[in-house]
Amino acid sequence: MIDEENVVDPSHPRYKSLMIRKKVADAGVKGMLADSAMIAHGRGEAYDYLLGEQTTPSAMEATREAVARLVRAERPILSLNGNAIALAGADFLTIASQLGCPVEINIFYRTPERMGALLGHLKLLNSKLGLDVEILGGIPDARIPGLEGPRGACQSNGIFEADVILVPLEDGDRCEALIAMGKEVLVIDLNPLSRSSRTGTVGIVDEVTRVTKNMIQMIPEKPSVTEWNNNNALQSALNHIVESLSNKFE
Amino acid sequence: MIDEENVVDPSHPRYKSLMIRKKVADAGVKGMLADSAMIAHGRGEAYDYLLGEQTTPSAMEATREAVARLVRAERPILSLNGNAIALAGADFLTIASQLGCPVEINIFYRTPERMGALLGHLKLLNSKLGLDVEILGGIPDARIPGLEGPRGACQSNGIFEADVILVPLEDGDRCEALIAMGKEVLVIDLNPLSRSSRTGTVGIVDEVTRVTKNMIQMIPEKPSVTEWNNNNALQSALNHIVESLSNKFE
C-alpha cells in the first residue's frame, strides 16, 4: 500500500517518532500484527510524548538492571510479540546472540498467518545479520499456567523453562502468570502505571528501540545485579511526566 | 473479520474503553479509516486513562462553552473525520439536527474509497435516526488557505463559509489554518498539549462520545457565551493528570 500517510518528512519536528510509527504500519500491511497492535502503539506514543521521547536517567538504570539479570541468568530468553518484532526485531536477535539465548515468538492473538509472517521476518533478519539465533514459538508444547486459550501456549525448551525472561510490550495477564511461575520478568513498557510495569521484576519505562540500542551497548560491560526497588523506579518515571506537565500554560 | 481481539468481555474493568476501541476496529474493517487512525485512537486511550476515563469539571465547562458558541453561531458546522464518524457518527447527526446545521466530512488522508465509505455510513445513520441532516464534503469546491493537497479541500457552502466550526480529533495544521480564516474553532481532543487543543478557541479535553452525549443534553438549555480563557482550561486538565500520577507508588 503506497499511501500519503506512510511518507515521512525528515524536517518534521517528530521525525523519529513518525519513522517508528511507519515501522508498525508497514508490519501491519505485512500481516504481522493484530488490529489492536496499532492502537497499542498509539498508547505508547502518547506516553513517550509525555516522557519527552528520551531515555530518562531512571529508565537507563532500569535497563542496566535488566541487562545485569539477563547476563546472570542460567536460561535467559527474549519473548517477542508482533510490535516488538516490527519495531526492533534485528536488535532483539543481536541481543539474543550476545547472550547466547533463544528468542520465542509469543503473541496474544495467535493465528497461523501471523505466526508465519513473524517467523519468516525473523528468519530473514537472522540471515541478513549473519546470525544463527534459535527462534522458538512455532511449535508450542507447553502451557503457561493460568492463561487460557492460545495465549498460554509456549515451548518447553523456551519460555517454559527459562529463569529470566525479557518481555517487551507485554500484556498484564501474561506478565502476572510468568511471575507466578517464579521467573524474573523484565518488562519494557512506556506506561509506568500498566500492570506489566507494576508486576514485573524490573520495569523499563522507555521506548523499545531506545532500550534495545542501550542494551546492546551494555551487555559487553556485564553490569552487576543490585537490590532493585521497582516501585521507586516507576515513581521516578511518573515524576518525570508530572514535571513536564506542571505549569505548562502559566 | 471475526477475531478473538474484537470480542469484549463485559466483566472487564475497562469494558467501556474496550467497546469504544471495538468501534474503531470495526470502522477500520469497513475501510472508513487510514492506518494512522488506529494509532491516533491509541494515543487518545492513553490520555483518557490518565484522565481517569471521566469528564472532568473543566471539560464539562469547556463543553458548555462550545455549545454556547454553536448555538450563537450564524453558520455553524460540524467537521467530521473518520474517527469522529466511527465513534460518534449518530450523535453528531443528532447535534447537527438540533442546531439545524450541516456536517462536512473532512479527512486528512482523502481517498475516494474512504470518502465513499464515510458518506455511506452517515447516510445510513441519517435514515436510521429519521433525520435529514445535510452531509457535505463529497464535492469540494473551495480550499482552506495554507493547507496543501487534498487535506485543504472543503465546500464553499460548508466549512469555507462557516463562522463557528466544531472539530473533533483535528490535526494541528488544519486547526491553525481554520483559526487563520477567522473562525471560532471548537476542538475535542484528549491531549491537552496538542497543537489543536492549544490553538483552538475552546479546547474540550474529553473523550468524544462523552462530549457528544453531554452536548445533546446541553443544546436545548441554550447556554450563554462567556469570556473564555482556553489556557486556564487546558492547565486544569493537565493538573487533573498530574494529581492522578503523584505519589502513586509511595
* pLDDT tens-digit readout, A77-95: 999 999 999 999 999 999 9
Of B5, B49, B238, the CB nearest to A245: B238
The answer to whether A234 faces chain B, any CB pair under 8 Å, is yes
Contact A71, A219 (CB under 8 A): yes
Average pLDDT over every residue of A19-42: 87
- H or E stretch covering A187: strand A184-188
**Structure-block grid coordinates of residue B92:** 453528531
ipTM for the complex shown = 0.85
Considering chain B, what percentage of its residues have pLDDT values greater than 90?
A: 72
**Cβ–Cβ contacts within 10 Å for residue A65, how many?**
23
Q: Predicted confidence band at A7 (pLDDT cuts at 50, 70, 90)?
A: low
How far is Cα B204 from Cα A111, in angstroms, rounded to an integer? 40
Residue with cell 460548508: B158
**Cα angle B69, B75, B79; round to 5:** 80
Which residues make Cβ contacts (< 8 Å) with residue B97, sequence separation at least 6? B129, B131, B132, B133
Average pLDDT over every residue of A58-84: 97
| pLDDT attached to residue B6 | 52
| pLDDT attached to residue B33 | 86
How far is Cα A78 from Cα A164, in angstroms, rounded to an integer? 9
The answer to whether A3 faces chain B, any CB pair under 8 Å, is yes
Q: Predicted confidence band at B108 (pLDDT cuts at 50, 70, 90)?
A: confident
Counted residue by residue, chain A has a size of 250
Give the three-class secondary structure for A205: coil
- Compare all CA atoms of chain B with the CA of A243 and give the residue at the minimum distance: B242
Gyration radius from chain B CA atoms: 17
Average pLDDT over every residue of A17-43: 87
How far is Cα A73 from Cα A71, in angstroms, rounded to an integer? 6
Average pLDDT over all residues of chain B: 92
How far is Cα A141 from Cα A120, in angstroms, rounded to an integer? 20
- Per-residue DSSP letters for chain B? ---GGG---TTSTTHHHHHHHHHHHHHHHTT-S-HHHHHHHHHHHHHHHHTTSS--HHHHHHHHHHHHHHHH-SSEEEEE-HHHHHHHHHHHHHHHHHHT--EEE--SS--HHHHHHHHHHHHHHHHHTT----EE-SS--EE-TT--GGGGEE-TTTGGG-SEEEEET--HHHHHHHHHTT-EEEEE-S-TTSHHHHHSSEEE-S-HHHHHHHHHHHGGG-PPP----HHHHHHHHHHHHHHHHTTTT-
The answer to whether B41 faces chain A, any CB pair under 8 Å, is yes
Domains in chain B: ranges and CATH: 57-243 (3.40.50.12640)
Interhelix angle B82-99/B15-29, nearest 10 degrees = 100
**Integer angstrom CA distances of residue B16 from A68, B22, B39, B180:** 40, 10, 19, 37
Of B42, B109, B245, the CB nearest to A238: B245
DSSP state of A185: E
Mutate to test the interface with A, among B22, B26, B38 (most CBs of A within 10 A): B38
Per-residue model confidence as pLDDT tens digits over A137-152: 999 999 999 988 878 9
* More confidently predicted of B224 and B172: B224
The answer to whether B229 faces chain A, any CB pair under 8 Å, is no
How far is Cα A20 from Cα A27, in angstroms, rounded to an integer? 11
HEC string for A3-61: CHHHCCCCCCCCHHHHHHHHHHHHHHHCCCCCHHHHHHHHHHHHHHHHCCCCCCHHHHH
The answer to whether B203 faces chain A, any CB pair under 8 Å, is no
Q: Predicted confidence band at B28 (pLDDT cuts at 50, 70, 90)?
A: confident
How far is Cα A18 from Cα A185, in angstroms, rounded to an integer? 30
How far is Cα A85 from Cα A101, in angstroms, rounded to an integer? 16
| pLDDT attached to residue A202 | 98
Average pLDDT over all residues of chain A: 92
| pLDDT attached to residue B245 | 83
Tell me: pLDDT of B112 over 60: yes
| pLDDT attached to residue B107 | 86
Per-residue model confidence as pLDDT tens digits over B169-192: 888 889 999 999 999 999 999 999
**Cα angle B178, B220, B72; round to 5:** 35
Per-residue model confidence as pLDDT tens digits over A92-149: 999 999 999 999 999 877 888 999 999 999 999 999 999 999 999 999 999 999 988 8
Tell me: pLDDT of A169 over 80: yes
Tell me: pLDDT of A6 over 80: no
Gap from B48 CA to chain A (nearest CA, Å): 10
Average pLDDT over every residue of B99-106: 97
| Least reliable range by pLDDT among A188-197, B14-23, B193-202 | B14-23
